[in-house]
Each structure stands twice: as C-alpha cells, then as structure tokens.
Amino acid sequence: MKLAVVTGNPHKVKEVAAYFAGILEVEHVPFESPECRHEDVGVIAEEKARYAWEALRRPLIVDDTGFYVTALNGFPGPYAAYVQDTIGNEGILKLVDGIEDRSAYFETAIAFVRGGVTRIFRGRIEGVLVQPRGSEGFGYDPIFEVGGKTLAEIPLADKSQISHRARALRAFGEWLEADSMADDRVRPDDNS
Amino acid sequence: MKLAVVTGNPHKVKEVAAYFAGILEVEHVPFESPECRHEDVGVIAEEKARYAWEALRRPLIVDDTGFYVTALNGFPGPYAAYVQDTIGNEGILKLVDGIEDRSAYFETAIAFVRGGVTRIFRGRIEGVLVQPRGSEGFGYDPIFEVGGKTLAEIPLADKSQISHRARALRAFGEWLEADSMADDRVRPDDNS
C-alpha cells in the first residue's frame, strides 16, 4: 500500500515517512480539505479525511492537533494554531496567571481512510504550563513541560519518540501491522 | 419572495422578521451547515450559505459574527463563541490587562443566495473594552462600550438599531429594495 499523507505541511510528511521507513511507501499530497469546527480533533480529522477520500480515492491519512489547558476549559483546543498566531504563548501564560492548576495536554488524531472506511488513531501527551524555556520545536513547545523539560528543550529526535503525533502514529502503525497480518484485503463493511 | 433564515438560533429569525415586517415573508429553517474555519466572517457565511443552497434551493440568508480585539491581533475573531464559552469575558479582560489600546469591533456578515447567486452584506460596530457593566444582551455585550454605554446597558430595541447585525440587515435590505426596483428577475450571471 502506498499511503498519501494529505497536508499542506511537508514536515508532517517527513515525520510519517521516517516512522514507516521500510514498511510503507509514503507520498505527500498537498490537497486542502476544508477544516470544520469541532472541539474534538478526531472529528475534525475524520471530516477532512472523508473529504479528501471523495476527491482522491486512495489510501490516505489526515491529522489534526489540539492543545488543551485544563484551567481554561480546554482552551485553545482545536484552535491552537489561530490562538498561537494571535495571543501567543504570552497570552496563554497571562490567562493562567494566578491559577494553580497548570495542567495541559496536546492531542493528535490521525484519520486513516482506505476503501472508504475511516479509522481514527489518537495520541496524547500530558504536561504543565511553565515560563518559556528552550529553542527547539515551535508553537507551544517552550511553555509545555513534560518530565522536567519543556518540549523546546528536547531534541527533535527524542521529541519524535514521545510526542502526541508520534503516539498517534504508533497506534496507527500497530493497528496496520495487526490488520495486514489478519487480512490483507480491503473490508468496506468494517466501518467502526 | 419568501426568505429562509438558515440558523439554529430562533432569536436571529425574530430580528430578521422584525426588520422585514410588511416587506418580506421570513421563515425559520433550522438547517445545519458545517462551519468552516476562516478569519473572515464573510467567507464563513458564504460557505455556509452555498452549502445550504445546495440542499434547499430556495432564497435564503445565513449569517456569521466575529468579535475582533485590536491589541490581540483580532482575537477572538470568528471564534468568538468558543472563546466566550471557555475563557469568557474575564479571560478577554485579563489578556488586555496593562495594554493601552482597548479598541474592538463586532462584525456580522450576511450571505444571501438566490438562484445560485450569493451576495455578502456586512455590518460593523466599533467600541472599546471596559470592565463589565449592564445586564441586557449576552456574550461580550457587558464589556463592549459604544458611546459611553456597554451593549449590555442598551435596551434590546435600541441595540437592534445600532448593532452589527442590524447594520448588515440594513445593507441587505437596501440592496434588496434597489434590486427589486431595477429588475425582479433572478440573474445568475450577476455573481459579484
């Protein structure tokens, strides 16, 4: 199976290709699905994937990532990118100023479509909000601490082992391996 | 012409019906268009309207409203409802704490589709962020001051004259009147 990674972001494709090296052929398809509003990144990824499937009709994945701050009722959630571009890390820290609960998590959902059947795989990483440290990564990485280090203090190679996207990819990879051992055919009635 | 107001919110329908009383017959159609992400409420309203048109094939309007704070790079913008539900007015005020520029505006875009042709009408109201005052209205009304009063201090009947939605409705109504005087037919090539 040749897997289309449907995204505008070539960095995502590299991460997927690195993960499946020797197992799966991966191809970047820069197709733009409209991105609908929902608080669950799984639903967003699924809708984008279905849209892409209608246009492309080939095995593909689409992902979506959210950033959820507990004390802010999950804000910024699926709007992580827009919020990063407007109020940024400074805004997030201002919002939790004086609040004790600093817990937050990233969640990535990967939607995989083959033969019209969609499956969702999720990966999550839990941490706490801190003052910015480190220069690796991007976005919320400098203010998100896991096990004593911010994601911006963890080299990319190590981050790629523990990140929300890595965990979602692993869940997908494990399912794919089990599925291909069980039955290599496409099963359109297997819509869970 | 009987106009379908496509929305889940019956209050919006009442406002439209009141505006067009004696001019246009208005009917509430609680159809749900998927709401896509874009920073311009005009684009969001247009996409929702086109989706509704495909399903309904009758003259209709759909609207979308955003709230834009200058010092926050336009945040929360089209995500006004989500942001209100998560960080609320308290969060917005915390974000502008210590910032001199308190200017903000509401913008409503109304998308009107007839004969497959879509037109967008906009209404905007400019004001400044203040500590909450008043008990009318909802959402950002208590912290949004226009001409010395917050929208939550202005009775609904008066607010309905000056609001962003009222202004968009007026723009739509004026165009509709001019258009019906000029030519009562549907002109599918008149897609501006």
**Does the residue B33 lie in any domain?**
yes
For the segment B104-132, what is each residue's pLDDT rounded down to a tens digit? Answer: 999 999 999 999 999 999 999 999 999 99
Q: Which residues of A touch B (CB under 8 A)?
A: 34-37, 39, 47, 72-77, 79, 82-83, 85-87, 91, 94-95, 97
CATH label of the domain that carries residue B58: 3.90.950.10
Q: Which of B37, B73, B74 sits opposite A37 (nearest CB)?
A: B37
Map residue B82 onto helix, strand or coil. helix
Cα A178 to Cα A170: distance, rounded to the nearest angstrom: 12
Q: Which of A116-125, B18-27, B119-128 has the lowest mean pLDDT?
A: B18-27
For the segment B125-170, what is each residue's pLDDT rounded down to a tens digit? Answer: 999 999 999 998 889 999 999 999 999 999 888 888 899 999 999 9
Strands (E), B30-183: 60-69, 76-77, 103-114, 117-129, 144-146, 149-150
pLDDT the model gives residue A183: 59
Strands (E), chain B: 2-6, 25-29, 60-69, 76-77, 103-114, 117-129, 144-146, 149-150
Cα A34 to Cα A51: distance, rounded to the nearest angstrom: 8
> Does residue B188 have a pLDDT over 90?
no
**Does the residue B191 lie in any domain?**
no
The answer to whether B121 touches B112, Cβ cutoff 8 Å, is: yes
For the segment A19-61, what is each residue's pLDDT rounded down to a tens digit? Answer: 888 888 999 999 888 877 888 999 999 999 999 999 999 999 9
For A117, other C-beta atoms within 10 Å of its C-beta total 15
For the segment A64-117, what is each residue's pLDDT rounded down to a tens digit? Answer: 999 999 999 999 999 999 999 999 999 999 999 999 999 999 999 999 999 999
Question: One-letter amino acid identity for A68?
Answer: Y
The residue among B110, B113, B115, B146 whose CA lies nearest residue B129 is B146
Distance linking the first and last C-alpha atoms of chain A: 21
pLDDT the model gives residue B138: 86
> Does residue A5 have a pLDDT over 80?
yes
Instruction: Compute the average pLDDT of residues B87-103.
Output: 97
pLDDT the model gives residue A117: 95
For the segment A127-150, what is each residue's pLDDT rounded down to a tens digit? Answer: 999 999 999 888 999 999 999 999
Instruction: Compute the average pLDDT of residues A148-160.
Output: 90
**Does the residue B14 lie in any domain?**
yes
**Does the residue A192 lie in any domain?**
no
Using CA atoms of A159, A163, A169, A170 in order, give the dihedral in degrees to the nearest 10: 80
Q: Which of A75, A86, A91 sits opposite B86 (nearest CB)?
A: A75
Q: pTM score > 0.90 for this model? A: no
Cα A31 to Cα A81: distance, rounded to the nearest angstrom: 19
pLDDT interval class at B18 (50, 70, 90): confident
pLDDT the model gives residue B190: 45
Q: A85 CA to chain B: closest CA distance, Å?
A: 8
> Does residue A185 have a pLDDT over 70?
no
- Burial of B16 from C-beta contacts in 10 A (0-12 / 13-18 / 19+): buried
> Does residue A188 have a pLDDT over 80?
no
**Does the residue A191 lie in any domain?**
no
Task: Give the residue numbers spanning the domain of A91.
Answer: 2-182
**Does the residue B190 lie in any domain?**
no
Q: Which entry of A40, A64, A189, A190 is annotated as an active-site residue?
A: A64
Number of domains in chain B: 1
Tell me what the pLDDT averaged over chain B comes to.
90
